[in-house]
Structure 1
Amino acid sequence: MTFASYNFPDRRLRHRDNELWIDPVQDSDLYRADSSFRVRSPWVPKTTANPVLPGLFADPHIVHLDGRYYLYPTTDGYASWSGTQYTAWSSADLETWTFHGTILDHGPDVSWADNSAWAPAVAAKNGRYYLYFSGGAASGNTAKQLGVAVADSPTGPFRDALGRPLVAAGTYSGQAIDPMVFTDDDGRSYLYWGQGALRVVPLNDDMTSFDPAQVRNITPSGYNEGAFVIERDGTYYLMWSENDTRSEDYRVAYATGSSPLGPWTKRGVILSKNLDLGIKGTGHHSVVRAPGTDTWYIAYHRFAVPAGNGTNREVAIDRLRFNADGTIAVVVPTP
């Protein structure tokens, strides 16, 4: 059997009398009234089978910018997570992803870090795009530090905005990794980061500095790393990863609060392994809302199926749903 495609630029597909018709376009009241096609709700994208990116990637940061979805993952598959590059991917529908190449490489682009390009996050403000990232200090120092890079496009290239770390290793307890930026409706942006201890601070308008006196420790019980914050209907949701990324029990829990700073009430686990499907190590997530809707998606990594582990991971996307009382429903991971 063979198929052929045809274009009918002067015709319109419509439903009439329980049949599909390819009719000449007629701009008349009768023509429009005769068609029973109706737009009942905004179209929102749906995801295909996971993983959504080819190859080994982890720590995906998903965001909607300038009419497209973007994914910024950690490049995975390196011993001790020693990769140096960040890449960008974009999609109009969360199904087909376009690869935009390397947007920042610790080797040539960052003077103070040459390893451990982990868990990026991207935020837009003032017509520019800011990439927050962590990296191992140059000259073999394994201590992690946070940096920020800037670009005029979501796909870069990004350049180190400061020429030094935004958060230097040892400044605060816990490991300086896993940055995330949440911008509230009033335009104020907040930087969250840390493994073992979670901190938050309001960013200055330049998005590359903050007042150290305003740094707060908001570590919830069970927290390990990978904080992410959203707001919905006046409630703030703080989510994070529990356990170690090398464990099949790596998972996502959350709390709710009345402001980006809390106080926070822990609610429980929303994403975890499904051994019946061979899915393990579901964590280090991010969340995006389809514009103009109340439809949400969660991007996360898991052990590559079937034989992955804590350094061989892949990126998945599933629906994130809310219960009638505003709590988050348990996410069903899909193969």
Structure 2
Amino acid sequence: MRRSHLPFLLLCAIAAPAFSREVPGANPIIRDKFTADPAPMVDGERLYLYVGHDEAQRDEMFNMREWLVYSTTDMKHWTDHGPIMKVSDFKWAKKDAWASQAIKKNGKYWFYAAVEHDETHPGKAIAVAVSDTPTGPFVDARGSALITNQMTPNGTHSWEDIDPTVFTDDEGVTWIAWGNRQCYIAKLKPNMIEIDGPIREITPPHFEEGPWLHKRDKLYYLTYASLDRATHRDERISYATATSLEGPWTYRGVLAGSGKYSFTIHAGIVQFKKQWYIFLHNAALAIGDMNGAIGRRAVTVERLDYNRDGTMRPVIQTDEGVSTP
């Protein structure tokens, strides 16, 4: 989630036309709330989708106070399970329920999210919560931040510690990656609430924010929101690959263009019932008299396909989404 250059972002908060498609599986997939930063997780025969809740009013930039979860069994009909947590549930955080991801391990569900820390550790931070079910209730698993701005002293700004992604490798080790401008990666201890070893920087070309880790066959993928300031004013989705999460990472180029009417974009990738999907967001939804804008976004989904060499085929964002074959 892009947080810097506020005057520039305000220029992007343009009104978007109403989107009235009601076909199941069409984009945006959630139409009664503004949602952003999609993070899918498969558990059995159901796909769960964790999102931030955009509540910006009029000319507000961002107003995000809680995280929501939806689920589906067919990618076309979604069940709303309501809020799973509020940022106020982390007593040491003061605002900003930003990008998140959940993962299942050791029979529990672990939820990692970006928030604004209070004055004891100024700057953005990453929290971790835990639940016995994918729909919550989730509770603070540490009573303190997992990652604070002071733990990444080589960064260039105070909001670099955002947008966590978590992934368990073939050896059973869970990794966490995150960042804005700089991309960091580290191992988690088996207890899932402590960093295990050093934090390393793995920043790929044009990295802006929103990293996402996944694996297919023998390749690991690092997908992220990218911004080439010399040629573009809106974020796109780019990616890199590696045969180990330790790297080295090979840059593979742009995967998807910018989201409609949206400066930010955020990808979540998952395989569900033998098909790969990529979740994104744009600002093409209107609810009542509130048009889409920088702080009022809408989650979308497209099918994702791969070439024989493991590279991902470019994603064309559509209104139809997965409603058509």
> What band does the TM-score fall into relative to the shorter chain?
0.7 to 0.9
How many residue pairs get aligned? The number is 281
SS in 2 for 1:331: coil
> Is 1:115 the counterpart of 2:100 in the alignment?
no
When normalised by structure 2's length, the TM-score is 0.81
> Is 1:299 the counterpart of 2:279 in the alignment?
yes
Deviation at 1:243?
2.8
SS in 2 for 1:309: coil
2:78 corresponds to: 97
| Alignment check: 8 A CA contact 1:182 1:229 kept | yes
Give, in whole Å, the separation in 2 of the partners of 1:222 and 1:228. Answer: 15
Deviation at 1:282?
6.6
Give, in whole Å, the separation in 1 of the partners of 2:151 and 2:62. Answer: 23
Counterpart pick for 1:194 among 158, 179, 183: 179
Counterpart pick for 1:52 among 26, 29, 36: 29
1:16 corresponds to: none
TM-aligned CA distance change 1:84 to 1:70, over 3 Å: same
Report matched runs for 1:23-38 at 5 Å: none
Deviation at 1:230?
1.2
Runs of 4 or more off by more than 4 Å in structure 1? 139-142, 278-282
| Alignment check: 8 A CA contact 2:99 2:164 kept | yes
Give, in whole Å, the separation in 2 of the partners of 1:282 and 1:82. Answer: 15
Which consecutive residues of structure 1, in runs of 5 or more, have no partner in the other structure? 1-46
Percent identity over paired residues: 36
Deviation at 1:279?
5.8
Give, in whole Å, the separation in 2 of the partners of 1:139 and 1:197. Answer: 23
SS in 2 for 1:81: coil
SS in 2 for 1:118: coil
TM-aligned CA distance change 1:117 to 1:261, over 3 Å: same
SS in 2 for 1:117: coil
2:123 corresponds to: 143
| Structure 1 residues 282-333: Cα deviation after superposition (integer angstroms, max 9, x where no partner) | 7211001024x2x200001112347522211100000111112211110011
One-letter amino acid matched to 1:267: R
1:262 corresponds to: 247
TM-aligned CA distance change 1:192 to 1:81, over 3 Å: same
Report matched runs for 1:230-269 at 5 Å: 230-243=214-227, 249-269=234-254
| Structure 1 residues 162-204: Cα deviation after superposition (integer angstroms, max 9, x where no partner) | 1110001232125111001011122111000111111111111
By relative contact order (CA 8 Å, sep 6+), the higher-ranking structure is 2
One-letter amino acid matched to 1:309: A
Counterpart pick for 1:289 among 242, 253, 271: 271
Deviation at 1:69?
0.4
Give, in whole Å, the separation in 1 of the partners of 2:233 and 2:50. Answer: 23
Give, in whole Å, the separation in 2 of the partners of 1:323 and 1:114. Answer: 45
